[in-house]
Amino acid sequence: MTDTTQSPLEGNVLFYNKPEPLDAAQHGNLGVNAKAEPYAFVAQTNVVPLTVTEFAAAALSYPVIFVGESRQPVAVMGLNQNDNLFVSPEGVFRHDAYIPAYVRRYPFVFADDKANGRLILCIDRGADIVAEGGENPLFVNGQPSDYTNMAMEFCNNFEQERLRTESFVKLVNELDLLDVREALFTPRDENGAPGEPQKIAEYYAVSEDKLRALSPEKLAELRDNGALGQIYAHLVSLLGWDRLIALAFVRNQTAATVN
């Protein structure tokens, strides 16, 4: 699918250990095996990137926040850096949790070939579901299989949503709507008396005060272009910190009981 002798690809991507540009000569015998519990690669991270059109669906499961200098929107899946409360170490996603598109596209991904101004479809050669003679072949008679073409379409759609997300974040930044916010947890003793609040996260979120201060014309513009609905989905999602705390408490109790 690509000439791998061209310039090197740039950038590191969460979850991908050995992304390689798909090439019939190099990967002609490879396939992807179906797996009943395929998400073990997600179990060691507590945040997963989201696209803006996923905010409403993700808000039913996770806090949706903005992080880093780029203000990347992410779904928060755990309170600690390497601990995911929604994915078991064996790779089972909670049945009631939304699975982000960023996760569903794995083991495929686009790589940015900046020297040639193009995107190249890659596969994570390090994924345990990618194997010689895998049940879903990547190529048939030297041509991309239907399975690979579907992966290409999914990654194309994801790329369009990623660009839409960049535009959304740019708009939110231009309107100066983001503020630093903290997620707090108030422990209680055996008698139910509250203790000193503990900070469990610091992140960027839309300020409701700044949102209300926008002119009616600007609010109407945000409503008409769909951004206002996404902002409200983000704000509602922040109630999900309580769910994360409850899940972490239940997990700790279960671990203590087992031990």
pLDDT of residue 113: 77
Per-residue pLDDT at 23 exceeds 90:
yes
3-state secondary structure of 174: helix
Per-residue pLDDT at 235 exceeds 80:
yes
Count, residues in the chain: 259
Distance (Å, rounded) from C-alpha 243 to C-alpha 184? 13
**Where does the pLDDT of residue 6 fall: very low under 50, low under 70, confident under 90, or very high at 90 and above?**
very low
Instruction: Calculate mean pLDDT across residues 74-96.
Output: 93
pLDDT of residue 225: 95
Distance (Å, rounded) from C-alpha 117 to C-alpha 111? 11
Distance (Å, rounded) from C-alpha 37 to C-alpha 93? 8
pLDDT of residue 251: 82
Helix (H) or strand (E) holding 236: helix 227-237
pLDDT of residue 73: 97
pLDDT of residue 3: 32
Q: How far is CA 87 from CA 84, 174, 177, 198, 202, in A?
A: 6, 36, 32, 25, 23
Which range is least confidently modeled, 33-37, 61-65, 204-208? 33-37
Per-residue pLDDT at 39 exceeds 70:
yes
Q: Reply yes or no: is the peptide bond before residue 187 cis, omega within 30 of 0.
A: no
Identify whether the C-beta of residue 110 lies closer than 8 Å to the C-beta of residue 9.
no
Q: How many helices (H) and strands (E) does the chain have?
A: 8, 13
Instruction: Calculate mean pLDDT across residues 73-84.
Output: 93
Percent of the chain's residues with pLDDT above 90: 75
Per-residue pLDDT at 115 exceeds 80:
no
Distance (Å, rounded) from C-alpha 138 to C-alpha 22? 9
Reported pTM: 0.87
pLDDT of residue 257: 66
Nearest one of 55, 11, 226, 31 to 129, comparing CA atoms: 31
pLDDT of residue 11: 44
Give residue-wise pLDDT tens across range 151-200. 999 999 999 999 999 999 999 999 999 999 999 887 766 666 777 778 88
Give residue-wise pLDDT tens across range 40-62. 999 999 999 999 999 999 999 99
Which range is least confidently modeled, 129-133, 197-201, 205-209? 197-201
Q: How far is CA 11 from CA 16, 40, 129, 249, in A?
A: 11, 23, 23, 37
Nearest one of 52, 49, 39, 162 to 106, comparing CA atoms: 39
Instruction: Calculate mean pLDDT across residues 133-156.
Output: 96
Beta-bridge mates of residue 49: 74
